[in-house]
Structure 1
Amino acid sequence: MPMIVNAQQTSPARTYVDRVLEHWHEDEDAEALVQGAQRLTRGEARRRLFRLGHALRRQGLAPGDGVGLFLANRVDSVLVQLAVHLIGCRVVFLPPEPGPSELAALVEQSRARAVVTDPLFARRAADAAGRSSHAPMLLGLGPCEQRCADLLALAAECPAERPDGVPAPGADEAVTVLYTGGTLGRPKLAAHSHRLYATLVDLAEDDPQESGPTVFPAMDPETDRVLAATLLTHGSGHLTSIQALVTGATLVVLPEFDAGAALAVLREERITATMFVPPMLYALLDHPECEPGALPALRRIVVGGAASSPSRLQQAVEVFGPVLSQGYGQSEALGITAFGAEDLAAKGAERPELWRSCGRAISDVEIEIRGEDSTEALPARQVGEVCVRGETVMLGYYEDPSRTAEALRDGWLRTGDMGYLDAEGYLYLVDRAKDIIVTGSTSDNVYSRVLEDFLLTLPGVRNAAALGVPDEEYGEAVQIFLATAEDTDVDPDTVGAAVTAELGELYTPRRTVLLDRLPTTKVGKVDKKALRAAWTSAER
């Protein structure tokens, strides 16, 4: 059943897919999608999209059904995501980082009727689908070793006309679901409606001088070429691709990030705009071929997804020019603040502290800083929890009313991030109330609650805490603290191997600390501030 929150009586007259198709019906020979040697014109992309829509329908999928997308970065991944929305189904993004148990729980929680998998992930997808009580069908985006139908082959036999008879989505119908952690076996899935996409279309088409700050400049469909370098199944990659598609710009997909390969694509494809998480930007800056003037076409780099080093941001401006934008959002609110490139370069020179800011609220988004369990806004420069309200905020956690009620109060989302606003409305983040560790070469999320729940299942472990500690290469690294039972020999290497096997390499602890007990707060919770302080002191 679709989740309904604050139901309204009207539905949007057209979806963002309609906006994409308006461009793809014009100048059919212009490039639409590129990945290496694969280059699709607008006409080819449109016809392939329609065929994929028919192929999905022929598998019995109907409007409102959930379709899990377990996909790598490739052109067909972009098209199948559009196809799911084209036929009125719900997109469920399945990112690659969860381990077997969490991935299976994600498929189960999302009520996916089908899972479309990249051949690279087919074995894991089959395992997750096999554990689900809903028994979702498995479709491969190409031939797979597992027993699943080849969706591309099926699509090749389908008509190239748009599928008809698709009802308009309800204003508060969940059409896209993103994984945002949770507890082991009980993931949180942020559900969004088509109102999010209507807002993204407006932001992409509005004049920034009138509508407020934006990370991307106004796009020219004749000249702009956008590189999707982050994962398409994450919020950052999804937003990057959508902003390109709805403006008619050419979308270039980078299969895997490597600094040298990224530089080559940026240069050879004459990329004008892209988005990087901080480790990607740093790797690019450290590459020997990255020097001033190397990318003359580039006019916007958006940086987001994790905390950025002010000195590295300034270095990027020195190398690339005033093209650097910052953005802040999360799965629960895919757009919150932005800091446009020209604004950042100009004001950053006058006020160096602004390099630590993630910008001001985007159009139609409100931000308040509130104290714990308070509905009153705190004054400027006082630290509290960042609370936001607006069209980019999720409907709620899919099929999870209790956790929705905790996060959404009177229309305001409690983000779990701690920060403050200055007198001009610039937001500064200082910490995370949510225990998310952002690490890895692509700044993926390690959800400490998931890790801690698993650690507590291991023999001899009485209590566990996971922290993100500073790491020069990845920003943060996973460190775990274990309280072990008396007369029990817990081997850190064995623990690390068990974590990797169950949750994946991203969760592998860089360091394991064994303690008799973990410090606790007055209410009996593990005191992570004390653990962090003790770790900091020990490292000095």
Structure 2
Amino acid sequence: MIVNPQETSTPLAYLDRILEHWHKDEDAEALVQGEQRLSRAEARRRLFRLGHALRKQGLEPGDGVGLFLANRVDSVLVQLAVHLIGCRVVFLPPEPGPGELAALVEQSAARVVVTDPLFAERAADAAARSVHAPVLLSLGPCGQECQDLLALEAECPEERPQGVRALEADEPVTVLYTGGTLGRPKLAAHSRRLYDALVDVMAPAGPAEDAPHNSHQSPFPVMDPETDRVLVSTLLTHGSGHLTSIQALLAGAALVVLPEFEAGAALEVLRAERITTTMFVPPMLYALLDHPECTVGALPELRRIVVAGAASSPSRLQQTVEVFGPVISQGYGQSEALGITAFAAEDLASKGAERPELWRSCGLPIFDTQIEIRSEDGTATLPARQVGEVCVQGETVMLGYYEDPQRTAEALQDGWLRTGDLGYVDAEGYLYLVDRAKDIIVTGSTSDNVYSRVLEDFLLTLPGVRNAAALGVPDEEYGEAVQIFLATAEGVDVDPDEIGSAVTAELGELYRPRKTVLLSQLPTTKVGKVDKKALRAAWVNGA
């Protein structure tokens, strides 16, 4: 017998909402990856079987389960299954080195680690270094000493696991890696409040008078479960991919998983799968726009592209509208606050035409989020249009850094998160980011601030420049000097002297780069952001 979602209660209400969809129109597609196409009924049965298979490992509610997974349909189901049995998801992204990955597994106290066969060797090494000695499972057979979770799943019942205790409001249910120092990673821990907020944000819109915060918005439009199809192309083990997948499933939309981003492959999937909504980080969007097959009318089904994860170029956002129409939606968040502001596509396109400065805005706060711009010491709230640190409060803000009270106290003060981002708000409450605090370049005879975001936005307006990054490098005279790295279009000659003159004419002498490096492309992280650490390391090594 299959238990109806109304007959029981899960520890996390968002799962009930997803299962409500998966109990209706059971033959409709729920999860897709290439030739693998799961109906809602098949997805539901597999979710329940995976929950039982994980329970057989001796997991108790609240235990941590590390997910070291590639982008695939099975990865989506395993994450849901961990929450279904009341356990804590610990996302293990692929970028950390062996020592950092082992420290992440150890600090998170993961009792089980589920790995993709692609990562099995690294997962086994990390598990072996942990004093907790986690059980190692794989999504399919692999050469390491670990059990095949999919084989275990096949032997399990298709009924929903029962007897799962409810989770407390301040209990961590999802933990995301967000950097740190070697051997001491930072793990942003979120509670069920995040998922409750997502359920509310993704609820169908009611009458305007019923909305308590009608100026607050979501980057995703209200979706139609019958027609909407969402592509997740960023990593499922990062906040962006996780949020995209959860929001799609909450809406009842079909979720299509892109295993790895490449502009041509992404275009083909967008077209073939009739994708209506997707999310990209800026370098992905730029690569898509630069592909020769990305032309006006190429993707007639596309209604929404959410761009987030890093600063976006206003000129590239406008180019997106020229190619695809008013589909671009800007969002802002971080691992510590999964969703802070959003700018709906229709508003961005229409208001941006009247007020061009809005193309640089991240939009208005989502849901119940509150934003304050504070002074460097965090004691004073600054007025509109004055630059300071962005501080936020709301349901999407983390509980704290997992098992790290010292860094939690530094980041969370009186219930407000210090984001480390610098920005300002205008008179209407729109947020504008100018830099990460750590990315400010302090230079010149008066040690003034050069905001790398401002410089990069301008560089992307220049002919032949496809992507740009600005760094501060050591300088004997000024402490730091501005150095820029440009990805240039093939067959286009870009003159560094002309670049420097254009920067000076537009932004002033302080922003003039002391050195310009031309590259065919900029290095990116696993999540698709420009990798400034790699650029800095290459500069130090003289590469």
- Structure 1 window deviating more from structure 2 (31-40 vs 289-298): it is 289-298
Contact 2:11/2:84, CA 8 A, preserved across alignment: no
Q: Out of 128, 135, 151, which is 1:137 matched to?
A: 135
Matched to 1:21, the amino acid is L
What displacement does 1:213 show? 2.0
Alignment of 1:81-480 (within 5 A): 81-207=79-205, 210=211, 211=214, 212-434=216-438, 470-473=484-487
TM-score by length of 2: 0.80
What displacement does 1:382 show? 0.4
- Separation of aligned partners in 1, 2:99 and 2:62: 26
What displacement does 1:51 show? 0.4
Q: CA offsets per residue over residues 230-268 of structure 1, 9 Å max, x none?
A: 000000000000000011100000000011111111111
1:346–1:74 CA distance, 2 compared to 1 (3 A): same
1:345–1:159 CA distance, 2 compared to 1 (3 A): same
Q: Out of 37, 40, 45, which is 2:38 matched to?
A: 40
Say what the alpha-carbon RMSD is for the aligned residues: 2.6
What displacement does 1:434 show? 4.3
Q: Secondary structure at the match of 1:168?
A: coil
Contact 1:370/1:378, CA 8 A, preserved across alignment: yes
Q: CA offsets per residue over residues 105-145 of structure 1, 9 Å max, x none?
A: 11111110011000000011111111111111110011111
Q: Out of 64, 73, 76, which is 1:78 matched to?
A: 76
- Structure 1 window deviating more from structure 2 (210-219 vs 407-416): it is 210-219
Contact 1:259/1:283, CA 8 A, preserved across alignment: yes
- Separation of aligned partners in 2, 1:293 and 1:270: 13
Contact 1:260/1:287, CA 8 A, preserved across alignment: yes
1:417–1:78 CA distance, 2 compared to 1 (3 A): same
Matched to 1:345, the amino acid is A
- Separation of aligned partners in 2, 1:326 and 1:270: 22
What displacement does 1:207 show? 2.3
Contact 2:65/2:87, CA 8 A, preserved across alignment: yes
What displacement does 1:468 show? 11
- Separation of aligned partners in 2, 1:42 and 1:469: 52
- Separation of aligned partners in 2, 1:473 and 1:74: 30
Contact 2:12/2:83, CA 8 A, preserved across alignment: no
What displacement does 1:509 show? 4.7
Q: Secondary structure at the match of 1:102?
A: helix
Matched to 1:288, the amino acid is P
- Structure 1 window deviating more from structure 2 (404-413 vs 426-435): it is 426-435
1:26–1:218 CA distance, 2 compared to 1 (3 A): same
Q: Out of 30, 52, 65, which is 2:50 matched to?
A: 52
Contact 1:279/1:473, CA 8 A, preserved across alignment: no
Contact 1:369/1:419, CA 8 A, preserved across alignment: yes
Contact 1:12/1:169, CA 8 A, preserved across alignment: no
Matched to 2:163, the amino acid is G
What displacement does 1:473 show? 4.0
Matched to 1:472, the amino acid is L
What displacement does 1:435 show? 5.8
Contact 2:111/2:132, CA 8 A, preserved across alignment: yes
- Structure 2 residue aligned with 1:442: none
- Separation of aligned partners in 1, 2:168 and 2:275: 36
- Separation of aligned partners in 2, 1:225 and 1:255: 16
What displacement does 1:376 show? 2.7
- Separation of aligned partners in 2, 1:358 and 1:324: 12
- Separation of aligned partners in 2, 1:118 and 1:136: 16
What displacement does 1:471 show? 3.6
- Separation of aligned partners in 1, 2:330 and 2:409: 30
Contact 1:325/1:339, CA 8 A, preserved across alignment: yes
Q: Secondary structure at the match of 2:362?
A: coil
Q: CA offsets per residue over residues 291-337 of structure 1, 9 Å max, x none?
A: 11111111000001111111111000000000000000000000100
Structure 2 portions without partners, runs of 5+: 1-8, 441-451, 457-470, 472-478, 489-524
Matched to 2:486, the amino acid is E
What displacement does 1:377 show? 1.3
Q: Secondary structure at the match of 2:202?
A: helix
Segments of 4+ moved more than 6 angstroms: 436-439, 465-469
Matched to 1:322, the amino acid is P
- Separation of aligned partners in 2, 1:249 and 1:345: 25
Q: CA offsets per residue over residues 368-405 of structure 1, 9 Å max, x none?
A: 00002233310000000000000000000000111111
Q: Out of 25, 28, 45, which is 1:27 matched to?
A: 25
What displacement does 1:469 show? 6.2
- Separation of aligned partners in 2, 1:112 and 1:265: 35
Matched to 1:272, the amino acid is T
- Separation of aligned partners in 1, 2:180 and 2:161: 37
Matched to 1:395, the amino acid is L
Contact 1:435/1:467, CA 8 A, preserved across alignment: no
How many residue pairs match? The answer is 453
- Separation of aligned partners in 2, 1:347 and 1:99: 44
Matched to 2:426, the amino acid is D
- Separation of aligned partners in 2, 1:318 and 1:471: 27
Q: Out of 17, 34, 38, which is 2:15 matched to?
A: 17
1:225–1:402 CA distance, 2 compared to 1 (3 A): same
Q: Secondary structure at the match of 2:58?
A: coil
- Separation of aligned partners in 1, 2:217 and 2:534: 38
1:354–1:268 CA distance, 2 compared to 1 (3 A): same
Contact 2:11/2:83, CA 8 A, preserved across alignment: no
- Structure 2 residue aligned with 1:445: none
TM-score by length of 1: 0.80
Structure 1 portions without partners, runs of 5+: 1-10, 440-447, 449-464, 475-499, 516-534, 536-540
What displacement does 1:433 show? 1.6
